Chains A and B, each alone.
Chain A
Amino acid sequence: MNIIETEGLTKYYGKVRGIEDVTLAVEEGEIFGFIGPNGAGKTTTIRTLLGLLFPTRGRARIFGKDVVRHGPEIRRDIGYLPSEVFFYEGMKVRDLLQYAASFYPGDHTQRIRELAEYMELDLNRRVDELSYGNKKKVGIVLGLIHRPKLLFLDEPTLGLDPLMQRRFFDLIQRENRENGVTVFFSSHILSEVQRLCHRVAIIREGRIVEISDIRTLQKNSYKKVTVTAPDLTPKVFQLPGVADLRVEDGTLRFYFKGDINEVLGRLAALQVQDVTIEDPTLEEIFMHYYA
């Protein structure tokens, strides 16, 4: 079953483009990456899905329900971690979390305590005294208090130290594996998307340019080839499918799309000192889409 479905979702701010014709589907239980540079429309997409913005055209459904008409009902099972978190001033962390919890049925005291402990968050501090990273932790707890079925993460790791980032990723993966939480993960940091996500959509200037399985994306497109050999000239690898060919200190680097045997054939004729053929990182694939 699809947890999120959008059809031609479009948002304009007056005449300014937010997103254009975004069509995608996120399946239950997957961690779906949403990548693109700043200003591409990632946040606009999320805010429209959350009912903070109203679409100019197109439709979006979450849990099979229209996001404009059934917002409050849908949001019962949604957790949201914005890229920057702001809270009511003068409150204690504990009171803020309790206020947030009061929007959902049931008692969440135990859950709050567990999450705070896991993220090493002091509940007795006042929110306005917190450091950026600690505010972020409050945001993480806020997003998870009510055991949501769907989690929106918008550039979530901004401002978290590496240790906490790791703990945060573990938490997200645990929620995903053990509780079947679907995650919509927006980021421009590809390594974290690569590490966490099952599928990714790439958004550029408001439009989706690619939706693909993360492995397919890495495997089916390009191979990254590095060769070191004496008397190496770029001419040797002048093949169709070769891109971005560069020589540096006797080492040749290029990307190749096509039958890898052609590259191997050329390599066989050389006296090779060193060679690697590897999958490009998402970063490199990404550069390709934005080149």
Chain B
Amino acid sequence: MFRANIFRFELRRHLRSALWWSLGVVAIHLVYLPFFKTFAENAAVLEESLKRFPKAFLEAFGMGRISMATVLGFCTLIFLLVQIVLAIQAARYGVALVSREESERTADFLMTKPVSRRAIINSKLAAALVALLATQAVLWVSTFAGWAAFSAGYEYDKGRLALLLSSALPFQLFFLAVGLAVSQAVRLVRNATPYALGLGLGAYALGAFSDIGGEVKLEWLTPFKYFDAASLVLNGYEMRYLVLDLVIVAVALVFGYWRYLRRDIPTVT
């Protein structure tokens, strides 16, 4: 039910892309971290000026509940951007996971080999997961190394920071699994990018602007809410959200597998 040769082949294809996504994560840190010192030194002015913004606006950017003048507070600001990058990456891997063979017309090559579809999807999923974990490893290193260099002597709880970073795993699993499910719900994915952007940015918007929307609460549908940086830093994981995330991952995977194992592979033209 697992083929090492498919896994290796897919991993090689993923690692190049994972490198670019990782560079994105590093770049976000490099752009934002140097501003921390100024923020921290002018805490009073900052708080004052933030008060003038509407509450909904601050919510949309994950600000307002925790002081941006602290390391962890500033971290939540960076983490939201990182989450957007991680969401699009994972969604892209999920959407393209098996549909890529059809859009790039290599499905015939792969699927006429003596392998079961279950082995194909297992091996591909494993390779995508390793590429995501590699990106997360870069996130851990760049976060901790970045703060070692740019904390300007301000103290912070490393345990809380680690907890925040650990949320990247269930967060990305959500987009990987839902991306796969979406790709198997449609007839043919010609290009994974619009789907990935739609999923990643859509989930972000759902979390960020749900307050503005009024009565209808759709935020329980988005991992941007489940793993909201400020809540994680202040209160840790919220169990019902973590469970909900994992349940959606499981349901999406079961659906994706179920469809893929019964799918007619269309002739390429």
| A interface residues, Cβ below 8 angstroms from B | 13, 43, 47, 50-54, 71-76, 78, 80, 82, 84, 86-89, 99-100, 102-104, 142
Contact partner, A86, options B5, B13, B268, Cβ 8 Å:
B268
Q: Which residues of A contact B116 (CB under 8 A)?
A: 71-72
Among residues of A, the one whose C-beta sits closest to the C-beta of B265 is A52
Q: CB of B113 within 8 A of chain A?
A: yes
**B105 at the A/B interface (Cβ < 8 Å)?**
yes
Q: How many whole Å from B252's CB to the nearest CB in chain A?
A: 23
B268: chain A residues at CB < 8 Å are: 84, 86
Q: Is the CB of B5 within 8 A of A52?
A: no
Which residue of chain B has its CB nearest to the CB of A89?
B104
Contact yes or no, B264 A52, CB < 8 A = yes
Q: How far is the CA of A72 from the CA of B115 in the complex (A)?
A: 5
Chain A residues lying within 8 Å of B119, measured Cβ to Cβ, are 72
Q: Is the CB of A80 within 8 A of B114?
A: no
User: Do B109 and A86 touch across chains, with their CB atoms under 8 A apart?
Assistant: yes
Complex contacts, A52 vs chain B, CB 8 Å: 107-108, 111-112, 264-265
- The answer to whether A88 touches B106 (Cβ under 8 A) is yes
Q: Enumerate B56-103 residues with CB–CB distance to A below 8 Å.
A: none
Q: How far is the CA of A71 from the CA of B114 in the complex (A)?
A: 7
* A103-B5 contact given A53-B265, A71-B116, CB 8 Å threshold: yes
Kindly state whether residue B235 has any CB partner on chain A within 8 Å.
no
Partner of B264, one of A54, A71, A73, A80: A54
Chain A nearest CB from B191 CB (Å) reads 15
Instruction: Give chain B residues whose Cβ lies under 8 Å from the Cβ of A78.
Output: 112
In the bound assembly, the distance between CA atoms of A53 and B105 in angstroms comes to 15
Across the interface, which residues of B come within 8 angstroms of A80, CB to CB? 108, 112
- Is B112's CB under 8 angstroms from A50's CB? yes
Q: By the criterion CB–CB under 8 Å, are B114 and A76 in contact?
A: yes
Assembly CA distance A7 to B48 (angstroms): 80
Shortest Cβ distance from A84 into chain B, in angstroms? 6
A218 CB to closest chain B CB, in angstroms? 32
Residues of A within 8 A of B111 (CB): 50-52
Interface check B154, CB cutoff 8 A: no
30 pairs, A vs B, C-beta closer than 8 Å: A47-B267, A50-B111, A51-B111, A51-B112, A52-B107, A52-B108, A52-B111, A52-B112, A53-B265, A54-B264, A72-B115, A72-B116, A72-B119, A75-B112, A75-B113, A75-B115, A76-B114, A80-B112, A84-B268, A86-B109, A87-B106, A88-B13, A88-B104, A89-B104, A99-B9, A100-B113, A103-B5, A103-B114, A103-B115, A142-B109
- Smallest CB separation, A87 vs chain B (Å): 7
Partner of B5, one of A71, A75, A99: A99
Interface contacts beyond A80-B108, A80-B112: sample of 7 additional A-B pairs, CB < 8 Å, sorted by A: A50-B112, A52-B108, A53-B264, A53-B265, A73-B114, A75-B114, A103-B114
Binding site for A on B (CB under 8 A): 3, 5, 9, 13, 104-109, 111-116, 119, 262, 264-265, 267-269
Partner of B108, one of A71, A74, A82, A102: A82
Tell me the bound Cα distance from A273 to B3 in angstroms: 72
By a CB distance below 8 angstroms, the chain B residues around A73 are 114
Chain A residues, Cβ within 8 Å of B112: 50-52, 75, 78, 80
Contact B114 A100 (CB under 8 A): no
CA distance A104 to B113 in the complex (A): 8
B38 → chain A closest CB, angstroms: 45
Shortest C-beta distance, A287 to chain B (Å), equals: 27
B113 touching A43, Cβ below 8 Å:
no
- Report how far A119 CA is from B106 CA in the complex, Å: 22
Identify the 8 closest CB pairs spanning chains A and B, nearest first: A86-B105, A76-B114, A103-B113, A102-B5, A52-B265, A75-B114, A80-B112, A72-B116
A54–B259 Cα gap in the complex (Å)?
13
Q: How far is the CA of A274 from the CA of B260 in the complex (A)?
A: 65
Could you say which of B104, B114, B262 contacts A54, with CB atoms under 8 Å apart? Answer: B262
Q: Are B108 and A86 in touch, CB under 8 angstroms?
A: yes
Task: Give the complex CA separation of A80 and B112 in angstroms.
Answer: 7
Within the complex, the shortest CB–CB distance from B106 to chain A, in Å, comes to 6
- In the assembly, what is the distance between CA of A82 and CA of B267, in Å? 10
Tell me, in angstroms, the Cα distance from A53 to B265 when the chains sit together.
6
Quick one: closest B residue to A104, CB to CB? B114
How far apart are the CA atoms of A88 and B110 in the complex, in Å? Answer: 10
B residues near A13, Cβ cutoff 8 Å: 264
On chain A, the residues within 8 Å of B269 by CB distance are 84
**Cα separation A236 to B70 with both chains bound (whole Å):** 109
* A86-B267 contact given A80-B112, A103-B115, CB 8 Å threshold: no
Query: Shortest beta-carbon distance, B117 to chain A, in Å?
Result: 8
The docked-state distance in angstroms from the alpha carbon of A104 to that of B114 is 8
In the bound complex, how far is the Cα of B50 from the Cα of A138, in angstroms?
64
